[in-house]
Each structure stands twice: as C-alpha cells, then as structure tokens.
Structure 1
C-alpha cells in the first residue's frame, strides 16, 4: 500500500499538471467540448465556467487577449458581455422598484417627459416594463445603426430622439421583435428616478454590493484596468484583432443594452447570486433583491416564437422573454438564459434553477456557431446526460440545417459588380438626409462615387453597380453586411429619395438599413 504522504504528493502533482486556469473537479465531457470548440472553430480565446449548488465546479480558459500578444486569457480577463448587460439593466430597475422609486407599469413619460415614439398613442401608453420585453411594434434591431458599427458620433440623446422617427412594422404589444434602443431608454429612466447617471447607478447598485470587482461600464483606461480581451475576426484564414481598444475606453450610448464588460469570475458570481440568493444574494444580511422582484424578472412577460430547433433539440414547450432574460423549458426543466453578440465578442449565460446549475461562455471572436454548439452541449450535459451529446453532434446538425437554409434563401451573387461611374449616377448624386440617421453623401471622389455617413464614419465605401442596381462595398473589413441602394426620382414638390436593404436577407438585423428613408437635401460639395 502507498503511504499517505506519498498519495498526497501524487495528488499535488496531478493538480499541478492541470491548466493554470482550471480547478477541480475537471469534467472530462466538458473538457472535450471545450477542446473541440477551440480546435473546430479556431477560437483565439475561450473562457468557460460552471457553478453548481453555489460552488464553482469547472473553470477553464484558453488563448490570448490578442493573438500573438503572448498575454493569456485568465478567469479575470474582461470580455464584452454585450446583451447580457440587459439583465443587469433590468435588475437595476427592479432595485428601484424595491426602493419605491418606480413601478413597472409607470408610463415612461412620467419619468422622461420628452420621450416620444412614432405613434402618439404608443408614446402615452408605453410603460417601463415595455422597454424591456421587445413588444414595441418596431422591427427587429430598429435604430441599431445609431449604435453600431462603432465608434460613431451618435449620443444617447440622439438615439432616444431617433425613436420618434422609427415607423413600427407591427401593432404595439402584438408580437416579439428584439430591440436594443428601448433598453437605452430604460437606462435613462433608471437615471431619472435614481438621481445619478446610468453608469454610476450600475456601479453603486450592482458591481459594488455584489462584489463584481472586475466589471466595467462607462469610461475607463485599458492599461490601468489591464487584462482586457480584444475582439477578433477571421481574415485570409487567420484570426486578427478587429476593432480593438485604444488606451481609453469611452462611455458609449448603448451601455444599458450591451455595453458592460465583465470577467468569467464576475459572471459566475452574478450567476450564483441568481441561483443561490440565500447565500450570495445578501448584502449586509439583507436581500439584495426582494423575492417579488426576482419572480418578476423571471416571469414570462412576452411570448417568443418557439423554433423548430428548440422543439427538436430540447423538447421545449414554451419560449418567452422576462425582464432581460430568455425563458424556456429544456428536457422538462426550466432554463433562464441570455446571449451577447458584438462584432468579435460572443457571450452566453445559462441558468438551470431547478438543478441549481449555471454556466458562462465568453469568446473573443465572431463565433456564432461555436457559441451555439458549445452552449447546447453544456445544456444537454446537465439536462439529459444519458444522451451523451457531443459538440461534434450539434455541429453536424447545424451544418445540415445551414445547407437546407442556403438552398431555400440563396444570397444574391454580386461578384460581377463594377465601380459605379459618376456619369451613371449623375441623376442620383447629392447629399441625402434620414430623420434619425442624419446625412450621407453620394458623391464623386477620386474617380469613383462614394457613400459617406456624417455620423457613422465606419459606414463609408465605394458605390458599385451590378446591371441596373447599385450597392455599397464598405471600406472597413469589420463592416460585413453590404446594402443595396434604391433611388426614386424627384417629383413635383418632392426631392429625390433613397432607400437601402441588406443584400443578404439573413444578415444581422442590427444593420437595419430597411428603416432608413433618405431625401436629397442638396447637391454634392
């Protein structure tokens, strides 16, 4: 028999052989999914953590802050959590409800008298709760071009003022359509009743009492904070930093919708607070959030479409949106979750409250499929372990789905495009204005015609021609969704007009070109 001291030494050696950023117990199935995700999708960086019964039972990171930097990702590395910020904004409002400063059914104009929607009736009727549940009647992603691509010159006031010009495509409260802009309004409601800017309230009401020590919002300095993951995209088959940070990370208008950054450890602390409130949801011995408000944010507020994938993969029977959370059932158990998507940064937070399990995925790459299959593999690991579903299994299922969808909705072939000449576009040259997006110019420049946005400098590029149609080839490689341009000739007392539409109809809805309606206001300089 081995001596006890010898067994102890062997145990210590085993622990030392693990990744520097992994903790016991290591789950072999999760490890396999982690490794496969990194290899299959060539991820520059990945961070995954799991909590069960209030304890971290899995913690692992891989990759670099920026490829080639030599700076490793750790559990303290900051990632953009993107739309996982929405749950924090909703929790901030819930805290204000607990404090008696706000009611969920308060009219928005009670707290923001100057707020306007396109329809005056909706302006009067829209309540604080409506700001959080995607039922406004606007199309998906309406107004997002004031937020992305960034940096741009739109202010928070610009975004809120722009809502008055965004024409709805559905009846108010009739259906779900995801939006970001109304979360910005929600942040300003919080600021109005909380007596401090949104960013200050988040630090005071969420970060500090819950000890989310690395989370950042508003303006901060990259090198003072340190250990900050950078976004990446794939170019010529390799990962490169795209849209990386400068020394100063500036405050941005969309903080309440998706502008918070946190580390893996922070997000696991946040998960534990929701899953085990009697241990991790107490501040000075008192509940950080009342049970009534915990119930409210996790209650179905707006029905969401139940997709074929949810039925086939998870046996789901319902799908709904709460206050900043998506709600569904998976294999007979409750799932509370959200994802976050920004160019070059993807996140996922999934909670299984009935099992007291939660997990976090953070990736510093454009990694939609990687996040989907890894998240799904982890969900099934806990809800249906006997199925032994691997990451490869779900990758293959998505490949089959994509093949069917591509056949059904092919992307138009624009490979025969040529640069549009100023002669061909003579009738349409000029400066155009949209009520919420502002001015763009369609003007000659260096023997070509260029589209240039006054307030969104990333939206600049060469106008191209394909047969009798025009499109824009964006200069910035990080802007990957090209638009068609359509023109209408001037009429009696009507200036020439221009509209835009995505060439790829299935591209990210945040490129909401279809919401733009330009009128020509003057000729080219």
Structure 2
C-alpha cells in the first residue's frame, strides 16, 4: 500500500537492502508510510499519523505469547492492554506457529491494537518476528490495502515462493470434482452450513453443477443446480459487463465524465464530481469510503434514484488511485448510468433490470437469474442463516437484505449454480457466450481486467474484478456478502478452469478461501494447505463466538434499560423504537429489527449489541454525556447519532 520509503536511508540504517528487516526477512513496504529504524525495530507510520506498524526481530522465544511479550517490552514497556483473544493462523509463505493477538479497546478510542507472531520455517527455527499494529479505525480501513500488502509480503530469509507458472493444469475429472465436493461437504459439517450451491468448469465447459445440503435448516428440500441464492457483490462484475455493452454500443465511454453521461450524478465535493469518469464508478479507486449504513438502514422499497441522493452527501477520504476503498453506492450509480444510456426515458431501476435481462442474462442463458425478490422467493430458493448469541446456526430474517434493492447493481442479484457458471464461462470465453456467440467486444471485456488500484501484494482490482497473480498465474475472482448469503466465483483465464460457490449461512464465508486453495492444489498439485486453512477457520470461529458471548450480558439488566428513551432518531439513518417485552430488549429500526444484549466497555461506557442471527454485532454506544439520551453508531469512517425523541 505505499512505497514512499527512502531506500538509501533504510539501507544505511539496516545494513542491508531497503526491503529487508534486520534479520534479512524480505518485504514490500507500505506505500506512503514513513519508515524509521531503531536497532532491530522497523516502524512504518501512516500519513495521518495515527497508525503504525512495528516489526520486531527476535533471536528466540519460547512460543508466540512469549514473542509478543518480548516485542511489547521493547517497543512500549508500559503496555498494559487487556488481551481480548489469541487465535492461530495457518502456516503460509514460510511462516509457522502464526498467532494473532487482539486487544481490548473502548468504542470511543476508535482504535485497533493487534500483534502477530510468526516463526520462520527456515534457519534454526528459533527466531521469531512480531508485527505490532496500533491504528485508528478510520485510517486502518482507508489504508488497509497497503498494510495488508506489507503483512503478506513479509517472508523469511531464503524462502522461495510457491509458483504454478509453467505447470500443466490437470483437468477436473469426475474423480477430482468429487474430491472438491467432499472437501466442501466436510467444511459444511464443521461450520454448520445448511446448504451450498457449487459448479466446476474445466476445458471451457461445466463439468458439474449442483448442490449440497438443504435450502433451509430443519426442512427437507435439497439444494440443486437451479436453487437461487443472493450472490451479493458478485453482481458488480455483472454490472461492469453491462457497462462494457454500453461502451460497445457507443452509448458511453470509459473515460467519459459520469456527470456528463448522467447529469444527476454528483458528490458532495464538486471538484471530485467533475473528475469521476465512467470507469471510476466501478474501480474502488476514487477515495470514496464504504458508507454502507446509508443503505443498510434504508427502505428496500425506495426508488433507484436513492443511490444518487445518498452519493450527493459523500466526500472522498483519500486521493484518486491512492488506496483501495470499496464503495457500493458508486457501483450502483454505474449500473444505473449504463441503464439510462441504454434505455433512455425509463425509470432507471426498471431500465437496469430490463437491460440486464435483455443484454446479459438472456443471451447467456441465465434463465433463472433475477433482481425480482418476490419471483425468487416463489420458486426454488435458499433462505439465509446466521449465528445466534451462542454461535449456533439459526434461520435469519430476510428484512435487512431487502435494503440492498435500491442499490441492486452493487449486490442485489439472485442466481443459481447453473446460471452462475454460465457467467464465468462468458469470462473464460473473453466476452462470448458459452456457445461462442459474441456478447461483449473483446477490447471492452479486457478493459475490465486492467488493474485500477492495488488491493494487496500481487492482487489488484479491475472493474468489479479481483486479479491475483501471487502464484505466477492469473486468478480472477469476486466474492459476495449479504446477511446469510456468501459466495464466490473463481476462474483461471489461461486454463479454462473455474468454480462458483453459493452458501446460505454467514459461516459459509469461511469456505471461500479454502475452496480456492483446494482448487489450485487439485489442478496444479500444490502444497497441501487448504485442509489446515479450513481447520483453523473452524477453530477460530468457535473461539470468537465463545469470547464474544462472554462479554455480553443477557438479558439486559434493569440499570442499563432505565436510561433508555422510548424512541430515537438520526437525520441520516431514521428511527429506533425501544421495545421491552418478556424480559427482552429489542431495537426496532424503520425496516428491520433485532434483540440486543449489553456490553460493558473497559472505559466504563455501555454498548447495546444486536444479537439476532445474521445481524449480530452491530454496536450502539450509549452516550451518557450528551444533553439528551443518545445512542452512537459508527463505522470506521463515519459516526451517526440517534437522539431521543420527545414524547407526544
């Protein structure tokens, strides 16, 4: 994420190249971070000044905990933070015995503190490296890509990266498909995922599409090749395909100012508005932050134009092309602008739905794919699931997912394993349908793959696509996440191989990374790492659930209910009604609701945490210093205040 290091100064200070630690471990520095060296301590500081990463080389330690204790003693001798949770990470990139230590902070600090201990698999096996992260949450979200790049790129001295370049890809025979299915089935069992839709592509054709498990917990209907799931942000790549069709048709240009193409497009910053081109709407590179609360608390029945109303209040928090910042509303605008160009004079929501059906889903033979929620729920569909307060899988409400409907070009599509695979086939066919008919001109198909902004080492974001070259080959992908629905699509452009996964549980997100790794292992005979990754993910899920439950008080005690008003309002996000029924405290928002539990913070403040399956973990801090009863909701870069309404 930032390569503004002065190489000559670092080389002199370290007595080595600019990109090695005092022990000779190599790394790529986080771009725009300032570097300083003191003995064997290497520190990078973000431009904002409130985020640092310090690397501590240690000649020996008894274990990860001892290594972290030694590191804090050297960097900050008076460090006294309470350890929240220590969790392992799988062996990777030459590191073993990896463990992450997360520390307690209070909400008003807006701070993340973490330590990562690693032991090199090379050398004498005694030396450790510890990474100490202390970062303001806003800066961490904004500059997470450079920090992540640095963490990923730090490798032990002498370690050689695994590469599949030059290897012959093995086809996905029925036996290899069964191996992949068995891997997912085992993961489902360990993670309590009710249902998964899968497809596998090899030799440029679908070799298997179907399902594992059930559509809804406690009901017998099985997932099959035609079961619909919400694919969430996988919609983005489909939206950029529609944009490419509009460019093919001469209705738009990639370098055309968005405000010229659609005069209703504007941001809170007039200069930035003028700078945004069509390509920037879908590149995650404009500096616009997520600001997802605006649509999460919105009305799913609102018109598509709501996207442009919300964008008009948004300001960038970084410069163009500086860092990867994912903005759902910008992609939503891109889809609606394409629709307006292709079907002028129509309501932009209806125009988008029609254009996607006529120009993408129809020609590709994606016969069941739809943005129509009611149509999806009438047929063969999966239902969402999340974790309850004790970490058990339970059926979740669809209400919160409905709020994405006004911003559906960024995440509202319903699709099936069979249909999803046909979209991946189009990508493997360079813009042609699975049958070979032209759909997107190859030049505009390829434009979507060009790197627009760095995400991590060897990973860039194109237009609604992640492009990963870490193994010496190209892996294209995108994921999708909504309440109770998590999915991924993966393809290897040079080899005609791909896979899709659709899940109906929040724990399903933990299947995605291991599946990608397992696919590469099966195809290229890669090092056997996928099983350990899944095992660690399962263990960490259980540990996190237990730790979270231990911090919550349920039912909410009377002394924490007494200060609550009957109702609150936020000018940006709407209302909260406080319901007290049968010993339970429930927050009723304008369009969805959740029971809450109490958490007592280290600074003495108190937070109310949503606990309904799928929406668990949203925090409302009670501000006892405010003039009127107030609840504070934050994301990393925004704060929303709900103030008590006066009784009528």
TM-score range, shorter chain: 0.7 to 0.9
Q: Which residue of 2 aligns with 1:91?
A: 241
2:452 pairs, out of 301, 308, 315, with 301
What's the secondary structure of 1:165's corresponding residue?
Answer: coil
1:377 pairs, out of 518, 527, 532, with 518
Q: Which residue of 2 aligns with 1:215?
A: 369
Q: Which residue of 2 aligns with 1:310?
A: none
The alignment status of 1:267 with 2:406, answered yes or no, reads no
Contact 2:228 2:376 in 1 (8 A): no
Output one character per residue of 1:221-277: Cα deviation in whole Å (capped at 9) or x when no partner.
3465x211111224466543212599xx89911211111111111111111121124
Q: Which residue of 2 aligns with 1:364?
A: 504
The alignment status of 1:333 with 2:489, answered yes or no, reads no
What's the secondary structure of 2:274's corresponding residue?
Answer: helix
The alignment status of 1:324 with 2:464, answered yes or no, reads yes
Deviating more after overlay: 63-72 vs 234-243: 234-243
The alignment status of 1:500 with 2:639, answered yes or no, reads no
Q: Which residue of 1 aligns with 2:197?
A: 47
Unaligned runs of at least 5 residues, structure 2? 1-171
Q: Which residue of 1 aligns with 2:282?
A: 132
1:198 pairs, out of 352, 358, 374, with 352
Output one character per residue of 1:454-506: Cα deviation in whole Å (capped at 9) or x when no partner.
53432675777667413224374432113142538679xxx9976323xxxxx
Q: 1:515 to 1:325 in 2, by over 3 A?
A: same
Output one character per residue of 1:286-308: Cα deviation in whole Å (capped at 9) or x when no partner.
x21111111101111112123xx
Unaligned runs of at least 5 residues, structure 1? 1-21, 307-317, 502-511
Partner Cα distance (1:233, 1:29) in 2: 27
Cα offset, 1:418, TM superposition = 3.5
Output one character per residue of 1:104-123: Cα deviation in whole Å (capped at 9) or x when no partner.
12222113323332222112
Cα offset, 1:90, TM superposition = 0.4
Q: 1:292 to 1:488 in 2, by over 3 A?
A: farther
Bigger relative CO (Cα 8 Å, ≥ 6 apart): 1
Q: 1:362 to 1:405 in 2, by over 3 A?
A: closer
Q: Which residue of 2 aligns with 1:252?
A: 405
Cα offset, 1:343, TM superposition = 1.4
Q: Which residue of 1 aligns with 2:621?
A: 485
Cα offset, 1:439, TM superposition = 4.3
What's the secondary structure of 2:369's corresponding residue?
Answer: coil
Cα offset, 1:96, TM superposition = 0.1
The alignment status of 1:433 with 2:586, answered yes or no, reads no
Partner Cα distance (2:272, 2:282) in 1: 15
Cα offset, 1:169, TM superposition = 2.8
Partner Cα distance (2:491, 2:445) in 1: 14
Partner Cα distance (1:464, 1:278) in 2: 51
Q: 1:522 to 1:345 in 2, by over 3 A?
A: closer
Partner Cα distance (2:465, 2:492) in 1: 13
Q: Which residue of 2 aligns with 1:515?
A: 638
Partner Cα distance (2:594, 2:178) in 1: 46
What's the secondary structure of 1:58's corresponding residue?
Answer: strand
Contact 1:339 1:346 in 2 (8 A): yes
The alignment status of 1:101 with 2:237, answered yes or no, reads no
1:169 pairs, out of 317, 331, 337, with 317
Q: Which residue of 2 aligns with 1:113?
A: 263
Contact 2:258 2:278 in 1 (8 A): yes
Pairing of 1:70-89 with structure 2 (within 5 A): 70-89=220-239
Q: Which residue of 1 aligns with 2:551?
A: 413
Q: 1:462 to 1:411 in 2, by over 3 A?
A: closer
Partner Cα distance (2:339, 2:591) in 1: 26
Q: 1:27 to 1:178 in 2, by over 3 A?
A: same
Partner Cα distance (1:421, 1:404) in 2: 27
- The number of residue pairs the alignment matches comes to 465
Cα offset, 1:218, TM superposition = 3.0
Partner Cα distance (2:638, 2:287) in 1: 13
Output one character per residue of 1:411-452: Cα deviation in whole Å (capped at 9) or x when no partner.
9934497445576468xx874433x323446x7967999785
The alignment status of 1:184 with 2:332, answered yes or no, reads yes
